[in-house]
Amino acid sequence: MAAGPMKMRASLGTGFTDVRVLMTHPMETGLRKDADGKVVPQHFIQNLTVKLNGKTVLDAQISQAVSRNPVFSFRLKGGAKGDKIEVSWLDNHGESAAIETVVA
Amino acid sequence: MNRIRRALLAALVFAIARPLAALAAWNKEAFSAKTPGEALKSLGIGDAAPAKDLHIEAPEIAENGAVVPIEISSAIPGTTALIVLLEKNPFPLTARFDFKEGALPFVKLNVKMAETADVRVLAEAGGKYYFAKQEIKITVGGCGG
Amino acid sequence: MRRLALLSAVLAFPAMADPTPADVQGIMQRDFHPRGQATMDRVVQDGLQRVCTETRDRPPADVAKALEADQLKTIVYPEGSLMGDWKRGEAIAQSGRGLTWNDKPGDPAGGSCYNCHELSPKELSHGTIGPSLRGFGKTRGTGPEVQRYVYGKIYNAKAYNACSQMPRLGASGTLTAAQIKDLVALLLDPASPVNE
Amino acid sequence: MKALAFGAALALSCAAYGQDVAKEIQRYRQMVAEGSPAELFELEGEELWKKPQGPKSVSLQRCDLGEGPGVLKAAYAHLPRYFKDADRVMDLEARLVHCMVTQQGRSREDAIARLFGTADRPSELELLSIYIAGQSRGVRLEPGMSHPKEKASYELGRALYFHRVGAWDFACASCHGDEGKRIRMQELPVLYKPQYARPVMASWPAYRISTSQVITLQWRMNDCYRQMRTPEPDFGSETTVALIHFLNATAHGAPYQGPGNKR
């Protein structure tokens, strides 16, 4: 499966901004067999980056043990309307995707 | 299907091969380690102290090992990283989050667990390491077949 | 006036009686198609299914008795001991496979026991549609009478309770005689975790 | 001694099990629901709704789901219902196939060629269903109950619910007939009673966590009959629509809250 859509929601809490991001990705472990008994090759997101107004605030490295169609929630310090949040990922096949949203 | 996906990608996602390639550091050795001990060694982590201020919020029983929700947060001052290990998975190291100025040490994610096991979370703060653990039971659900 | 409106509402739908089991069967014969080993004869109710449907699983006592006597005749007991291997029995109790349209005919089926019953205390994921069978053999022993009862109950649960929700695992061809013997051992063998 | 201590611990954990398990499973489901990727599929469904397809190369945007051509708001909550143009009661999926045939000019074979998708590739009907159902959020479930064919559909659904059939003698009520029962760890809602039908029916279609798949009510009916060991029901047939009709009518009045999450 190729990279599908992403979705992100940012909401202002008290003293922080809640960020929730959904991404379409199979997160194949390389251990699973398909219906024909063939091993499905490893295919998973390895890096995740969160930027706030262009500056990296969170770098993550993840493994194939993160569930399919990953959902992550983060919290950013403070936050105000108009803040630009960008989340991007890179997988072990070199595919990548990104999404950005503005805090409303 | 592909056409739709492409259309969606164009609408929602923009390609960013350039900046990501620069920071595509992924600790292959640590993620390939087969035991929690080896993984920690690869990450350069020696001793870790138990910490009450490191919180794991997870169900004690999960109906399905394919999706186990875990929320981790640290109230240890100066926390710069959170590390998640699933002790009985074939490759225990599951995630490492490095927080820079601007992010709070808080993450919620879903993980896969092969069997009932401890989740071990480590926090790095001021060059020291802390840990917390919780057991999560994995059950079989629903009808067979 | 209101009564009149009500009456006309009733008259507007003169044929609005509840569909009978025979009507339902006819509709299912039209709306279903065979797939794999699940053939169309399976939507034809036998007498027992028909009576249980008609009475919402509460047949009059004499009817129930007659049905049970009928079902008892279907049970085929093998020669010799009815106790198999409880370890194989545990695996059969765990498996929910068998007889569906995507099960391969000839592949060993399971009894789906844990779907409805508690058995071994080691298995926390058990259903509650049927009674708990934990410690079943402890109070009943392993005598030939109880072996015969357990074998018969698994082979055809309807011989003991006409409209039981438990499948007729032997009579339907789901489990073999050897498999049912293994389940008897799972329930009765003192070494079985069920009797811990 | 050690074995004894272990045995005691096991007995203890089992005794404590009953009361705590339900609470913990509830917590698990709550946390999973908060992290559901169902929204991603709504986006894809919206694209499909607007995409020109078939020999006539038109989108489904003029499809009348009962609230008027192209009206999505509240459409799902009011299904199944009677459609005059087809002279029958239809659920969402049967209606979508009808529109694919009559408006897009596709053959019925093409429209139903791939009914149930995979985790990698959900089917067209699954994605459309999840998108369209999402447009009924907050609207009370109110399937059609006034036309004679709607009443007949409801009655047939109820009869099917209690109809014992198949190689294992099951009716829907064999599992969904008594309160407080479960299959393995899964609680079984007594779906002919409104208080149990409401929360369940208000959350279909759904994202199924165990298989990472989008699932619809037609799938649910199909897979229940598979496990009841009957032959396979035709997609969108009077039988499956009647059961869905009976269930949604029993859940009457529940505000729609889906698409939901299932185990």
Q: Which pLDDT score, from 0 to 100, does residue B5 have?
A: 44
Residue A89 banded pLDDT, cuts 50, 70, 90:
very high
A11 and chain B in contact, CB less than 8 A:
no
Mean pLDDT across chain D: 90
CA pair distance A52, A56, nearest whole angstrom? 6
* Percent of chain A residues past pLDDT 70, beyond the cut: 96
Task: Give catalytic status of residue D224 as yes or no.
Answer: yes
Of A60, A49, A45, residue with least CA distance to B20: A49
Residue A7 banded pLDDT, cuts 50, 70, 90:
confident
C124 and chain B in contact, CB less than 8 A:
yes
Of D57, D133, D152, residue with least CA distance to D95: D133
- What is the topology classification, in CATH, of domain A6-102? Immunoglobulin-like (2.60.40)
Whether residue D232 and residue C38 make contact (CB cut-off 8 A), yes or no, is yes
Higher pLDDT, B112 or D212: B112
- Which chain B residues are within 8 Å of D25, Cβ to Cβ? 59, 61, 63
CA distances from D159 to D8, D142, D187, D195, D254 (A): 49, 20, 23, 20, 23
Classify the C-alpha dihedral B3-B8-B9-B10 as positive or negative. Answer: positive
Q: Residue ranges of the domains in chain A?
A: 6-102
Domains in chain C, ordered, with CATH? Answer: 2-56 (no CATH), 86-195 (1.10.760.10)
Of D212, D199, D203, D214, residue with least CA distance to D259: D203
Question: What is the CATH number assigned to the segment(s) D33-262?
Answer: 1.10.760.10
CA pair distance D60, D99, nearest whole angstrom? 7
* Percent of chain C residues past pLDDT 90, beyond the cut: 87
Neighbours of chain D (3+ CB pairs under 8 A): A, B, C
Of C79, C44, C62, residue with least CA distance to C151: C79
- Which chain B residues are within 8 Å of C114, Cβ to Cβ? 144
CA distances from A69 to A20, A49, C50, C93, D25 (A): 13, 17, 47, 34, 22
pLDDT digits (tens, 9 = 90+) for B38-75: 999 999 998 899 999 999 999 998 888 888 999 999 99
Q: Which pLDDT score, from 0 to 100, does residue A85 have?
A: 94
CA pair distance B35, B130, nearest whole angstrom? 19
Mutate to test the interface with B, among C124, C129, C169, C174 (most CBs of B within 10 A): C124
**Which of C98, C115, C125 is the closest to B139 by Cβ?**
C125
Q: Which two tokens stand for residue D167?
A: 């190689």
| Number of residues in chain C | 196
A78 and chain D in contact, CB less than 8 A:
no
pTM of the model: 0.80
Mutate to test the interface with B, among A53, A64, A67 (most CBs of B within 10 A): A67
pLDDT digits (tens, 9 = 90+) for D24-36: 888 888 888 777 7
Whether residue B99 and residue A70 make contact (CB cut-off 8 A), yes or no, is no
pLDDT digits (tens, 9 = 90+) for C49-95: 999 999 999 999 999 999 999 999 999 999 999 999 999 999 999 99
Q: Residue D10 contacts by C-beta under 8 Å, 6 or more apart in sequence?
A: C121
CA pair distance C89, C92, nearest whole angstrom? 5
Q: Which pLDDT score, from 0 to 100, does residue D224 have?
A: 97
Higher pLDDT, D118 or C160: C160
Radius of gyration of chain C (CA): 21
Interface predicted TM-score (ipTM): 0.74
pLDDT digits (tens, 9 = 90+) for C8-26: 444 444 445 689 999 999 9
Domains in chain B, ordered, with CATH? Answer: 28-138 (2.60.40.2470)
CA pair distance C62, A37, nearest whole angstrom? 54
Q: Which pLDDT score, from 0 to 100, does residue D19 have?
A: 56
